[in-house]
Every structure is written in C-alpha cells, then in structure tokens.
Amino acid sequence: MPDASPRPEPFSASATPAALDDLRARLRATRWPDVPEDAGWSLGADLGYLRELVAYWADGFDWPAQEAALARLPRFRLPLGGLGIHFVHARAVAPAGPVLPLVLSHGWPDSFWRYTKVVPLLTDPGAHGADPADAFDVVVPDMPGFGYSDRPTGAPLDAVAVAGLWAELMGVLGYDRFGAAGGDVGSHVSRYLALDHPDRVVAVHRTDAGLPVFAGDPADLAPEERAWLAGAAAWGATEGAYAAVHRTKPQTAAVGLNDSPAGLAAWIVEKLRAWSDCGQDVERSFTKDEILTNVTLYWLTGTIGSSMRMYRANAAIPPAQHARRVDVPSGFSIFAGDVVRPPRAWLERTANTVRVTEPARGGHFAAFEEPELYAEELRAFFRPYRTAAGAAPA
C-alpha cells in the first residue's frame, strides 16, 4: 500500500505589490494620538520613536530584501492535526559525530523569526569557531496561529496540544528521539514535550520557567521562592495588562491591531524594548530592519489576533498540569536582562534540573539578541545527551 503519511512541502512566501502598497498607504495615513509631554515609554510605546519607526517602515524598509533573507533558510509546510504547519528544517553541516535533532519553540510576540540568527550557528558550528561535533539538525516550527502556520478556525490550541503536534512533526521528519528548547510560550511547549513524551525527549532546555503557578502552602517554599512569587505578582500588576487582554478579550484588541500597522508596531515594539537587555534603547538589541521584519510578518499573515488567543487557551490549562514535575534532564539559561527570573530552588522543585547558568548579557529574546551566546548555551547543555538520541537520519 502507498505511504499515506503527510510529506513536507518546500515553502516560500512572496508578498504581492498590492499588499505592500496597502501597508504603506495605511502607515502614511496613521491617525496619531495625543501624548503628555515627556511621557517617553512610561505610558507604553514612545510616540516619538514610533513615529520615526513608522516613517521608515513606509518609505525606507525593504521587505522584499528581508523576505529573500528569510528564504535562505530551508522552510517547509506540513499538514498536522488539520492545520498547515510552517517550519524551518536545517540539517547539520559536516558533523564530526552523532547529530542531535533539536526542536526550538518560539514565544510571543514573534515566530520562527526568533531563531533565524541562531540556526546556522547550531547546524554548522565549525564554521563559527565552535566544535563541529556539536552540530544539530534544527527544526523551528511556527505555532498554529503564528507566522506562516495556519490559524485555528475553532478553539485556539494550548501549549499541551502544540507539544503533541511537535512530537508528531519530529516523527514525520524521522526523529525518534530529540532535544527540545524554547522560551516564553515555547518554554511551556518544551516542558510539555518532556512531560508527555519522556521516551522521545532526551533533554530539555529553557530560558525561563514561565510565571509561577503554585497551589500549595507558601510555608513549604524556600524564602527565595516566596520572594520570586511576590516579585512575579508585582511584575504582573505593572507590566501584565497585555496578558490580561490576551487571556480575556483578545478579539477587541485584534480589531484595531489587525487594521492599523502603526498600532500593531506599538503593541509589539513596546514589548521588544521592555523584555530585552537593551538598557532603555530598543535599538541596542534590535535594528529597525529586525524589528520591522518581525512586525511585518505579523501584518502580512494577519496573525496578531490568533497569536493572542493562545494566551486564553493556556490560561485554561488545568492546575494539575502545572503541578507536574519534569523528569527529563532539564537545563536553564536565565539571561541577565530577562523578566521574572526564577531562583534555582524553584527550578529544582519543578524539574530534574541538571544545569543552570546565568549569562551576563541577553534578555527575553536571547536567541535573537545574543545568538552566539545562546548557541553556546545549547551546545554545552546538550553535549552529554547526543549519543542518547542516536544518529540522525541522513
């Protein structure tokens, strides 16, 4: 009988001139709000910076050039769970030992964009001053409702369901055992991959532990854990309005964000600045072209609403799921500029934690902000687990 399993199909994207003309017209017609004097970033996106960014987006930004750069990555689409899933699948170059397959899971507000800088560092370490024996086969999917993956037409998928899709994806690609890594929403997806597929995930690396969920007696926690819970609550009170909107009424915000590119840029850029290790200047971590590549991906794919709805799905994950402890060997790189940084006591409580590092540079988007440093963190953590995965398929 013929093999009926789904097959990856090569994927490329090319925005139409009409879509780009419409984008530029909307940018030039932006109806700007008033702003108090000297507000800066204190009330949200800085209007002066946003005006500058939008002007460049309308008259200087070269999307076709960025699209061509993204097209240099080997990209595919595959039907999984009734959805078309877009992903990068880059194989190791000239490996000098067993190749470890690695699935990288992004977060919000981004897509496969988060890992575009790090893919060549992981697949061809020898060309970047590292050991060729540390080469990976790298898979970077866009979650459903993000980037070039399909948007769910019914209920949004939560991190548990996405982890199941990634396990299926890795199987279709021929990887029985593999490593998993991620941050933000991708940290949760990687965690559930390890929880639900421990026979296939050899080790899991995360750049955060998510916001803490604890239903037990606080007296049972170490002092630094209690302080972290309090700090996370304080962060939510001052910085968490976006997440409350995403969890509760995402469609209301989606109407404006999907209609106004300036509004979309404001919603995303404020988070890029607040969560990165940029020292108050967002362009210390991201160039205008890098920022606008991320934002334009959201604009052209119309995925801001569907990406926000995943927060609502994740908020409905039962508490019992949050209480599960990861037994798969786990490593954490807690970058100095990230938000809500967990103490080691919490990491050891919630996972079989075998390695914790605290890189001195980088923030919430470490793979993009500090790709060389992030790549070295992954190489070092996964090195002992390469033989456990066996040789990757040719």
User: What does each C-alpha distance from 46 to 37, 40, 292 come to in angstroms?
Assistant: 11, 5, 16
SS3 label, residue 203: strand
State how far Cα 296 lies from the chain centre: 16
Closest CA relative to residue 101, chosen from 88, 114, 116, 112: 88
Q: For residue 69, which amino acid is it?
A: A
Residues 6+ apart with CB under 8 A from 96: 126, 131, 132, 133, 135
Tell me, yes or no, if 184 is annotated catalytic.
yes
Task: Compute the half-sphere exposure of residue 20: CA atoms within 13 Å on the CB side of its CA.
Answer: 14
CA-closest candidate to residue 289, choices 116, 39, 122:
116
Residue 197 annotated in active site = no
Q: Which of 86, 364, 374, 385 is catalytic?
A: 364
Task: Look up 56 and say whether it is catalytic.
Answer: no
Report how far residue 114's alpha carbon sits from residue 322's, in angstroms, rounded to the nearest whole number: 25
Phi, psi of 84 (to 5 degrees): -80, 120
What 3-state DSSP class applies to 137?
strand
- Which of 115, 192, 311, 385 is labelled catalytic? 311
Tokens 């009424």 -> residue: 249
Task: Choose, from 158, 184, 208, 277, the residue flagged as catalytic.
Answer: 184
User: Which of the residues are catalytic?
Assistant: 184, 311, 364
